[in-house]
Structure 1
Amino acid sequence: MIPPEPTGQPPTPASPGASARPPHGPRWMRVLLGVTAVSLLFGLWGAWQVFAPGAAHPQRQLAAQAAQIEDLQQQVATLTRSDQISRDANRELQGTLAERDEEIAALRADVAFYERFVGSTSQGRELSVHELRMQPRTDQGWHYTATLTQSLARDAASEGEMRLAIEGTRNGRLQTLAWSDLRQRADAPGVPYAFKYFQQVEGDIVLPPGFQPLRVTVRLAPKGRGAVVERAFSWADVTPRSAPEP
């Protein structure tokens, strides 16, 4: 049997697309995954920008909060100043009212003083102690001013001596200081007075350390047969409000 003669052409190779994989497949897969990941990241960033816009500007938020805090501090300062002004005005008003009360009391005292010389109120009133005032001089020293009056019904002048006595406490016990104690002399004479209508008698006394005065008694001893006149005053009524405690 005679073999077939060659045709002179090489055999045709098999088509590569039938069974072989494309040459660079894994690299393209990695590129595709990278693009997808980047897209997801951009998507998440965009969503965060949409739903949390303030987080992208922390400095702006801090500036806004600082401005709000400063505004609140200014409001607090304004309210505090307004409250202080109100307190000062109220304190000044209270002081003015107290001064007016003192002026009214002084005017009433003047009216009572002059009523002793005119009208029906002067009848039956002869020698009397109209007023007593005590002013601090030192820690224990005090200056007294007593206003003495008598009625117009009495034509003659009144003469005599005035003495003071002070009741109070010392070391928890009641104590009465006589005129000799206040003048620090056993034979201290009384303060002389002589007037027809009124007279102010002044002088100084000394209180012992630790003595707390409560009441002052003014004693008038007229010359001749006249009756002794006494009048007691509360220590708080005869001393100024701002006077220090003895």
Structure 2
Amino acid sequence: MSSVKGSKQYSMKVVPSRPGRNVALVLLVLLLLVATAGGGYLYGYWMGLGGKSFALGESDQLSSQLQDSRLEAEQLRQQVANLTLSSEVDRQANDSVRNEVIDLREQIASLEADISFYRGLMAPGDEASGLKIGEVSLTARNEPRHFNYKFVVQQLATQHSVISGAIEITLVGRRAGESERLALYEVSDEVDDNDIKLRFKYFQNIEGDMMLPEGFEPEKIELVAQSTGKNAAEAKKSVSWRVRDL
């Protein structure tokens, strides 16, 4: 065969046709791709399980710490409650002891006053014989402007005998800026006369309750006792308005 001048000539090779080999190569490539993808998925899944396990472990640790903190907080709260209760018990105990001491002091003062009173009745000493106005006591009641009163008239003598007489008790104060005097019978239902009758051998108590009128502000109490008979005597006393609480 004649050749064309100037063109490159290639040698031809006859290759046998193998379609099965090509299919095998394609399948091998596909298997490699599937294996690679599966390996990546398994690796990612394994790493995910590892992270999840770590997260679960961290969560369990935090839950345990939270529980411990709650227990500690409850213990502290209980301690605070115990301290508060103990403090309140101590305060109440102190108040109770203080009140008992006050009551005992008042009882002692009352007993000493009674002893002095009865000693004066039995042995007046250098005091002149006759009448004496002793205790004057005013105690506030729960109702506003209501008061309990107690006045004592006694006989000074070495040889006591029954005496009679009367006593006038007057409240002196101010109302609307003006001086005012009120007899005891005007403010007390226990008394019905300006002259309160006296009859006793050793002493006589004049007791009851009074209610002051609105606007009247008491300042003092004036007492004048007068006995009758052969050895008539008079006793006077003026005391400031002093009220004790119940």
TM-score of the pair, normalised by structure 1 = 0.66
Are 2:117 and 1:110 equivalent residues in the alignment? Answer: no
Q: State the TM-score, normalizing by the size of structure 2.
A: 0.66
Cα distance in 2 for partners of 1:12, 1:142 equals 140
For residue 23 of structure 1, what is the aligned residue in structure 2?
Answer: 29
Tell me, yes or no, if structure 1 residue 207 matches structure 2 residue 203: no
Structure 1: tracts of 5 or more residues without a match: 1-9
CA contact (8 A) 2:187 2:211 kept: yes
Q: Percent of aligned positions with the same letter in both sequences? A: 22
1:41 to 45, 48, 63: 48
Counterpart for residue 122 of structure 1: 125
Cα distance in 1, alignment partners of residues 177 and 44 from structure 2: 96
State the 4+ residue runs in structure 1 displaced beyond 6 angstroms.
10-14, 137-141
- CA distance in 2: counterparts of 1:85 and 1:137, whole angstroms: 29
Distance 1:226 1:193 in 2: 13
Contact 2:224/2:234, CA 8 A, preserved across alignment: no
- Deviation, 1:61, is 6.0
Q: Return closer, same or farther for 1:124/1:31 CA change in 2, 3 Å cut-off.
A: same
Summarize the Cα distance change of 1:205–1:76 in structure 2 as closer, same or farther, 3 Å threshold: closer
Q: Report how many aligned residue pairs link the two structures.
A: 221
CA contact (8 A) 1:168 1:214 kept: yes
1:86 corresponds to which of 87, 90, 101 = 90
- Tell me the distance in 2 between the aligned counterparts of 1:183 and 1:49: 88
What is the distance in 1 between the residues matched to 2:97 and 2:166? 44
- Alpha carbons 1:221, 1:228 under 8 Å: kept: yes
Q: Distance in 1 between matches of 2:187 and 2:117?
A: 28
Gaps of 5+ in 2: 1-13
TM-aligned CA deviation for residue 41 of structure 1: 2.2
The residue identity in structure 1 corresponding to 2:127 is G
> Which residue matches 2:181?
176
Contact 1:137 1:143 in 2 (8 A): no
Return closer, same or farther for 1:43/1:196 CA change in 2, 3 Å cut-off: closer
3-state secondary structure, aligned to 2:29: coil
CA-based RMSD of the aligned residues comes to: 4.1
